Every structure is written in structure tokens, then in C-alpha cells.
Amino acid sequence: MPTKIEWADESWNPVTGCTKVDEGCRNCYAERMSKRLAGRYGYPADDPFRVTLHPERLDKPLHWKKPRRIFVNSMSDLFHPDVPDAFIDQVFAVMALASHHQFMILTKRPKNMMHYLEWEDYDPYETRVDMVNCRTSDFAHTFDEYITPEGWPLPNVWLGVSVHDQKSADERIPILLQTPAAKRFVSYEPALGAVDFTYLENGRSCGLTGWYITPDKTGGGEPDQHQGEKLDLVIMGGESGHGARPTHPDWARTVRDDCAAAGVPFLFKQWG
């Protein structure tokens, strides 16, 4: 459905429901919305925020002819442990077919995401074609093009992590940067504490340039520097709604300036 989220044109929720993992989840928008929808639109009446699969929604992007940017699971986390790999396979199969769209996936569980995406054997992809309800006559041909090494990770899929302070950034961004992806982004929302994207893991890595260091292997005493993957977009926003906690203006100014210096696009959504 159309969304008011600034960085997306549509939201697509083949999964709804989640469980809280950190302080950033305290005033979860998706949880509030699911309670309002309890007993309707596939939200369980007894526990509307329970992780629920909606296979009937899988083919929605195939019916959207106009290219658009789609937020995948605005009401859940695709890499929640209660979402089976077989269902994630179906989501990725649809995204492969709908190559005219861009898909944005956000998670607070980057280890699960990395584990899923670090496939080394391409044979299983062929069977995943059969797991999606085929809506077009050229479905299998289109998906076969994407199961070659040249087409994986999917070029139209952005992977991202949500962070709310330095600790969550230190834990999640380095894992994101190690995960196979065409594009990577961070949603720094709700911004509950300062985040230095240039000084992750106590200075061991920079998310905006891709530089990271490892212990010295030469015996010279100096750490080894490496150029790795970097972020392609940083989105930031203060917490909104009832009980919203404040965001300090200096946090936003610093991230804006650091992104500008590194040439990384920065989007500030709202103060709260």
C-alpha cells in the first residue's frame, strides 16, 4: 500500500508482527498499529503483534507495473527467527522477478540476515522458483537469470539495519558491511543517542568510507588497514508519537556533516 515514509513509495508486508530486542523498540509504531488492526486484515485478534506469515500477499509487487521503491515489512522484521527460510526464499524470488522495483529491507537482526545471504551453493535456487505462486508465463526464465553468480546479491535489493545509539551501531553496521548486498543503508531512528559512523567499534571501522583495521600480522606493531564495503545511504529521525524521547540537534548535525564529507547521501526525516 502507499506509504507516508519519505524514502519509500510503497510498503509490502508479507510478514507482520515482531518481538522487541532493544530500547529502540520501546515505542514501536508497528506494535501500536497492529493493536488497532487486531482481528482484521490478517492480524490475530488474540495477539495482533504475533509474527504472522501472509503468503497471499507475496505476489503484490508483481501487479505494480510502475517502478517504485518498496519498503519490505514495515510491520515486521523479515529476519525474525520465527520467519522460516523457506518463506524468505519466496520473498526473494518475488523481488528477483520484480526487477523493475527497488526493495528496501531493514532488520535489527543482521546476524540472521548475513547467515541467510551467505549462500555458497547455487543449486538450491532452482527449487525456490517452485515455492512462489507463478503469476507470469516467464517467471522461471526471469528468476533463472538471477541465480547465476553475476546476479547475486539481487541488484534491486537494498539491505539495511536499524540503530538507535552507538552501541547498536557498533554491533549491527559492521555485520551489514560484511553481508552480500548490492546496496546498504542504515536507519538511525529513533535517534536516542549520538552515533559516530566514522568511528565504529572504538575506531576499528568507518561505515561511511569502508576503511577498517585488523591486528598487525607483520610484527611491526601497527594495525593493518583495509578498504571494504561502505554505506550507500543514512536515514535519521527522532522518535515520534506518545512518549517520544528527544533527539539532540548536535547528533543530526554531526552525522549530516560526516555523510557530506564522505559523499554518502543523508536523509533527515523529522525531529520527533
Is 202 part of a structural domain of the chain? no
Residue 138 confidence (pLDDT):
42
Strands 233-236 and 183-188: parallel
Q: What is the CA radius of gyration of the chain?
A: 19
Find how far residue 110's CA is from the centre of its chain: 9
Rounded to two decimals, the pTM is 0.87
Is 170 part of a structural domain of the chain? yes
Residue 151 confidence (pLDDT):
67
Count of helices and strands (H, E) across the chain: 7, 11
Q: Are 232 and 264 in contact (CB under 8 A)?
A: yes
Q: Which residues contact 159 (CB under 8 A, 6 or more apart)?
A: 105, 107, 113, 117, 153, 176, 179, 181, 183, 184, 185
CA 220 – CA 226 distance, rounded (Å): 16
Residue 220 confidence (pLDDT):
57
Is 142 part of a structural domain of the chain? yes
Residue with cell 535519521: 236
Is 155 part of a structural domain of the chain? yes
Is 145 part of a structural domain of the chain? yes
Q: Provide the 3-class DSSP secondary structure of residue 76.
A: strand
Is 159 part of a structural domain of the chain? yes
Per-residue pLDDT of the chain (272 residues; tens, 9 = 90+): 667 788 999 999 999 999 999 999 999 999 898 988 888 988 889 999 999 999 999 999 999 999 999 999 999 999 999 999 889 988 988 898 899 999 999 999 999 999 988 764 445 444 333 433 333 334 445 555 555 445 678 899 999 999 999 999 999 999 999 999 999 999 999 999 999 999 999 999 999 999 988 765 555 556 778 889 999 999 999 999 889 999 999 999 999 999 999 999 999 999 97
Is 225 part of a structural domain of the chain? no
Domain count, the chain: 1
Residue 28 confidence (pLDDT):
92
Is 220 part of a structural domain of the chain? no
Residue 1 confidence (pLDDT):
61
